[in-house]
Structure 1
Amino acid sequence: MQAGLSATASTSAPTFGKIIHRHAAESGDAIALRYLDRITTYAELDAISNRIANALLAHARPGDRIAYLGKNSDMAVALVIGVAKAGMVLVPIIWRLARGEVDYILEDSTAQILFLDPDLTPVAKALTVLPERVVQIEGELTEPSWTTFERFIAEAAPARPSIEVCADDALLQIYTSGTTGRPKGAVLSHANATRYRQVIDAAGLDWLQSAPGETALLAMPFGHIAGAGQALLILHARGEMIIHREFDPGALMDAIEVHRLRRLFLVPAALQLLLAHPRAGSADFSSLRYFSYGASPIPVPLLEAGMARLGCQFIQVYGMTETWGGVVALPPEDHDPTRRHLLAAAGKAMPGVELRIRGSEGELLGPGQTGEVEVRSPSNLLGYWRQEEATRAALSEDGWLRTGDAGMLDDEGYLFLKDRIKDMIITGAENVYPAEVESAIYGHPDVADVAVIGVPDAKWGEAVKAIVVPALGATPDPTAIIAWARERIAAYKCPKSVDFIAELPRNPSGKILRRELREPFWAGYERRVN
């Protein structure tokens, strides 16, 4: 365990409204946003977000929820700052969600206003739950009852809003991925990011935080913590943000070469797409100094391929929506070929973060023992929106957050994650974690992608099954894949069978939807653990 600040630390912290105002006063001409052919300075961002805030206050009250359905854009970034200045809470909705999922979030969040990307108007028109006021952020109106962004802010003053916003006030309400059941609205405050930034700055970790004026890329979906949350962190550091509407490996390589990016964050699925792009072999990655990855498990062979091609320092980051992203990191010096076992580690607790492992009976576990990972940090969420029972189940009174992840700490304090506790397979009384098996299979030359699930088995309760996406042009042999895995992990962890599929189902953050893969095998069973 690493001692540090608790989630209830009293360290003072600024709000994002004050941060942007300070940047505008000190570096008003500095570029804040680059989107398509538009450039926004910090002075312009401060002014437009003031107008957004004042317009919001004319139609809603501090504390109200304001929804955004759309892809990444400069207007989306300005909106989150305007919402912050108005003392309201932004509910960014992942644009890839199905209509029913969007309806659920709008209804559950009680959003008073919906800001809409024009590309998503067909989705919005099909919704059964819509706030009374819908604001289309760009383009000509496609629905007469809606209003344009220009009309919405037309009479709003560019002066700073007169209301007082506190750092501990809620700012973001991000709905968790919902790999099982309905998603919950994780509520995060200004201080969850700004207070923690102070702790990281004090530690002087250059590889963890960008420097003022540094160029950064926003390509992850805005409805994810790696989207809206990352955008706010870039602005906190007074970075120059290049905004891509969505992840595109070709456009990303262009941005790296043209803007000479020093650091980049991608989820493992995006890294895989980048390395598979036809240009990846010839692209100029020489400006990259740091590459961060996280949000889902990464197979070690994919990690090694990325390190070899990008040629920069790699950082593993482990965290979740409920912790505003990373709270554990594997720093560059631990991406060491001579200590290859560490490449499978999530890393060590970041400054100001505490970790512990609890068993199924609530007992604290020691090094080498696997149980549920618990985290205490300044970035832990305030709670789940309108779900007091779920909040009490996840957050202890003294600030410990139950992550739902299974893991263990070794003697040196490195955290090794096994998988989501709910995804664990129990076969013959042995615990098997799918991510470990997937990592063992991934390096097989005939395997492009893989997911591992538990299926009913009359003898063992559950049996391990691999669902494989074949490599281009390959015709994999199931027996050979099982034998490959057996050389790398214990026999009881190896798949008993292998099925093939064209593409794995994933949620917008890149996590495999094992629930969808399991469903056909468990149909008719009352329990999903045999």
Structure 2
Amino acid sequence: MVVTDTRELTVQGRFGNAVEEFRERGWWQDGSAGALLDRWAAERPDRRFVSDGTTELDYATLRGRAYRLGATLRAAGVGTGDRVAVQLPNWAEFAVSYLAIARIGAVMVPIMTVYRETEVAHVLRNSGAVAAVTTGEFRGFDHAAMFRSLRAGAPELATLVIARAPAQDGELAFDDACAGTEVPELGPQPDPDAPHLIVYTSGTESTAKGCVHTWNTLDFSGRGLARDVFHTTPDDVVFMPSPVAHATGLVVGLLVPLAVGAQTHLLDVWEPHEGLRRIAEYRCTATATATPFVRMALDAAKGEHPDVSSMRFWLCAGAPIPEALAREFGGVFTGGRLVPLYGASEVMAATCCHLEDSLERMSSSDGTPALDGVHIKIIGPDGDEAAPGEEGEICYRGPGAILGYWREPERSAAVIDGEGWHHMGDLGRADADGYVRVTGRLKDIIIRGGTNISAGEVEGHLAAHPSVAAVAVVAYPDERMGERAAAVVVPAAGAAPTLEELTAFLRTERRIAPHKLPERLVVVDALPMTATGKVQKFRLRELARQEG
């Protein structure tokens, strides 16, 4: 497959003859988010679907609010295939927005609340969003004001919906957009093979790429995780402190419970003591987070005695699970299992361990192919499949892969080969039994608390500082977050900049997300280079580590 134009982002162009197999095997079931919502609203209307500590919505109420919001968006000019950006915390309004947008056949573009003007402007321009749903001030930052200022550079953005904050003239208040008692008729369910979701993900490039999922590619992962990994039942309550605007939070926090008619509880600001309290209060049974969240929760539990016995399953991504951590987890979350998963926004779930796997497997691998239908292979430097135990690039093929990157045919073609394999850009080894261990990455990224930071992007911003002659951004290890970012700077003539000066510049002048700010500064006379002129980042990582 070679994607040459956005119009070629079709299931036939991406998957070819495999589409028939996906349907025959039941991996694609050609349903819709709206059809699932209709089913549960009819079968269990009073069953709570989403709560967030402030708002609780049962399936029937959720359906009414979502469909009225969908009708409001349609009346405002949002049509089938139009993109709608959503930057909201982990609130019930996010679930309402997602189901409203999905029901009218529009495409949701989730944006994490940590993103600021630079990242949001790129997403709006690249996606061509015609509408956005956001809030006012959250954690000291006014999101509505940011969107208002960005509209001048995003002429297609005609509609702005404001949740839990006052709307100005020409804007829609979220509650007003959902108001009423009637459930409008919205016509046929949307095409399950059309673009359904565009998740923007950071990689090695300076700008985020838009991962285009259909309902079928997304549902494959959500339904499969619910069935084969979480073993979710209608009695489960998924706890979701990870951002639902991120791939993990969206799939596990919304699609897994929606697949079986279960519940979800959302936490908008992760704080481990509050997290334990919510798990106990809402009797949460399963979750998925970056591995550092687990360490923080276990540390918080040492001084408390919350009843977290309901939590039976905690899926971890972004860092290995030490055996000692898994054993400690089982002692606090009595009978619970800590399970590793490896995935990405492009494929959602690639590999994971399963409940029948031993503790040794859980701590020594990232599992086998996560779901029936997923194929994983390791490609060596020569382009051939690597032998067991040999390191190479991890590649994915299966029904959960994206169609490609939105409006980025060159980037799509660079990672999806002619046989349909998606080259993940990560390094790993597979043993003789097919268990994969992620060993590193080809991509130049820092994974801070499970969130990717593009080193190249931050370097580009730092290079604009007048006191910086040259710069490289690298990861250094951190027990709490897994990794943090360090800036290695060659100063321009004059005094070297301080870390505070650089982060203030990034925050106020370049307006990038706060989680991307370097947390360590190393000043050097020159960056070490290879004979071909490439920065030797392995040496800089060691320097950054030693600075601690």
Shorter-chain TM-score range: 0.7 to 0.9
Which aligned pairs between 1:367-386 and structure 2 lie closer than 5 A? 367-386=388-407
1:103 positional shift: 1.1
Give the whole-Å Cα distance in 2 for the aligned partners of 1:257 and 1:180: 41
1:302 positional shift: 4.1
Give the whole-Å Cα distance in 2 for the aligned partners of 1:156 and 1:29: 16
1:389 to 407, 410, 414: 410
Task: State the one-letter code of the partner of 2:267.
Answer: H
Q: Is the 8 A contact 2:326 2:337 kept in 1?
A: no
2:72 to 55, 79, 82: 55
2:345 to 294, 306, 321: 321
| Equivalent position of 2:535 in the other structure | 528
Question: TM-score, normalising length from structure 2?
Answer: 0.73
- Residue 354 of structure 1 pairs with residue 371 of structure 2: no
- Residue 27 of structure 1 pairs with residue 44 of structure 2: yes
| Equivalent position of 2:285 in the other structure | 262
| Equivalent position of 2:6 in the other structure | none
1:280 positional shift: 5.4
| Equivalent position of 2:206 in the other structure | 181
Identity, % of aligned positions = 22
Give the whole-Å Cα distance in 1 for the aligned partners of 2:303 and 2:193: 43
Q: Is the 8 A contact 1:314 1:332 kept in 2?
A: no
1:369-408 Cα distance to aligned partner (Å, 9 max, x none): 1100011121111211001111122223443211111001
Comparing 366-375 with 293-302, greater Cα deviation is found at 293-302
- Residue 245 of structure 1 pairs with residue 268 of structure 2: yes
The 1:285/1:391 distance shift into structure 2, 3 A limit, reads same
SS of the residue corresponding to residue 328 of structure 1 reads: strand
Q: Is the 8 A contact 2:386 2:392 kept in 1?
A: yes
The 1:113/1:157 distance shift into structure 2, 3 A limit, reads farther
Which aligned pairs between 1:394-405 and structure 2 lie closer than 5 A? 394-405=415-426
Which aligned pairs between 1:473-492 and structure 2 lie closer than 5 A? none
Give the whole-Å Cα distance in 2 for the aligned partners of 1:67 and 1:199: 27
| Equivalent position of 2:431 in the other structure | 410
Which aligned pairs between 1:103-142 and structure 2 lie closer than 5 A? 103-119=121-137, 120-127=143-150, 129-130=153-154, 131-141=157-167
The 1:517/1:355 distance shift into structure 2, 3 A limit, reads farther
Q: Is the 8 A contact 2:321 2:362 kept in 1?
A: no
The 1:30/1:221 distance shift into structure 2, 3 A limit, reads same
- Residue 224 of structure 1 pairs with residue 246 of structure 2: yes
Comparing 379-388 with 254-263, greater Cα deviation is found at 254-263
1:137-174 Cα distance to aligned partner (Å, 9 max, x none): 22323x43433124445699622311441211222111
Give the whole-Å Cα distance in 2 for the aligned partners of 1:174 and 1:520: 36
| Equivalent position of 2:443 in the other structure | 422
Task: State the one-letter code of the partner of 2:285.
Answer: R
Give the whole-Å Cα distance in 1 for the aligned partners of 2:19 and 2:343: 15
Q: Structure 1: give runs of 5+ residues left out of the alignment.
A: 425-433, 439-464, 472-500
Task: State the one-letter code of the partner of 1:417.
Answer: V
Task: State the one-letter code of the partner of 2:294.
Answer: L
1:106-160 Cα distance to aligned partner (Å, 9 max, x none): 111111001111222343345364523211022323x434331244456996223
Which aligned pairs between 1:82-101 and structure 2 lie closer than 5 A? 82-101=100-119
Q: Is the 8 A contact 1:217 1:241 kept in 2?
A: yes
Give the whole-Å Cα distance in 2 for the aligned partners of 1:470 and 1:216: 26
SS of the residue corresponding to residue 362 of structure 1 reads: coil
- Residue 293 of structure 1 pairs with residue 316 of structure 2: yes
1:211 to 233, 255, 259: 233
Give the whole-Å Cα distance in 2 for the aligned partners of 1:33 and 1:379: 25
Give the whole-Å Cα distance in 1 for the aligned partners of 2:113 and 2:319: 20
Give the whole-Å Cα distance in 1 for the aligned partners of 2:78 and 2:479: 52
The number of equivalent residue pairs is 447
1:296 positional shift: 3.8
Which aligned pairs between 1:445-524 and structure 2 lie closer than 5 A? 467=476
1:269-309 Cα distance to aligned partner (Å, 9 max, x none): 21122223265553322222222111344455544443443
Q: Is the 8 A contact 2:222 2:251 kept in 1?
A: no
SS of the residue corresponding to residue 408 of structure 1 reads: strand
The 1:520/1:76 distance shift into structure 2, 3 A limit, reads farther
Give the whole-Å Cα distance in 2 for the aligned partners of 1:137 and 1:376: 39
Task: State the one-letter code of the partner of 2:166.
Answer: E
Give the whole-Å Cα distance in 1 for the aligned partners of 2:478 and 2:318: 21
Q: Is the 8 A contact 1:6 1:399 kept in 2?
A: no
Give the whole-Å Cα distance in 2 for the aligned partners of 1:310 and 1:302: 12
Q: Is the 8 A contact 2:35 2:189 kept in 1?
A: no
Q: Is the 8 A contact 1:92 1:228 kept in 2?
A: no
The 1:145/1:178 distance shift into structure 2, 3 A limit, reads farther
Q: Is the 8 A contact 1:358 1:364 kept in 2?
A: yes
| Equivalent position of 1:190 in the other structure | 215
Q: Is the 8 A contact 2:52 2:90 kept in 1?
A: no
SS of the residue corresponding to residue 186 of structure 2 reads: coil
Comparing 288-297 with 148-157, greater Cα deviation is found at 148-157
Q: Structure 2: give runs of 5+ residues left out of the alignment.
A: 1-16, 138-142, 449-473, 481-498, 504-512, 538-548
Task: State the one-letter code of the partner of 1:35.
Answer: D
Give the whole-Å Cα distance in 1 for the aligned partners of 2:398 and 2:132: 32
The 1:68/1:196 distance shift into structure 2, 3 A limit, reads closer
Give the whole-Å Cα distance in 1 for the aligned partners of 2:321 and 2:517: 16
Q: Is the 8 A contact 2:131 2:158 kept in 1?
A: yes
| Equivalent position of 1:148 in the other structure | 173
Question: TM-score, normalising length from structure 1?
Answer: 0.75
Give the whole-Å Cα distance in 2 for the aligned partners of 1:166 and 1:235: 19
Q: Is the 8 A contact 1:328 1:349 kept in 2?
A: yes
1:342 positional shift: 5.3
Task: State the one-letter code of the partner of 2:425.
Answer: G
SS of the residue corresponding to residue 322 of structure 1 reads: coil
Task: State the one-letter code of the partner of 1:405.
Answer: D
Task: State the one-letter code of the partner of 1:346.
Answer: D
Q: Is the 8 A contact 1:89 1:171 kept in 2?
A: yes
Task: State the one-letter code of the partner of 2:255.
Answer: L
1:223 positional shift: 2.0
1:439-466 Cα distance to aligned partner (Å, 9 max, x none): xxxxxxxxxxxxxxxxxxxxxxxxxx98
The 1:417/1:6 distance shift into structure 2, 3 A limit, reads farther
Comparing 376-385 with 164-173, greater Cα deviation is found at 164-173
The 1:272/1:513 distance shift into structure 2, 3 A limit, reads farther
Task: State the one-letter code of the partner of 1:27.
Answer: R
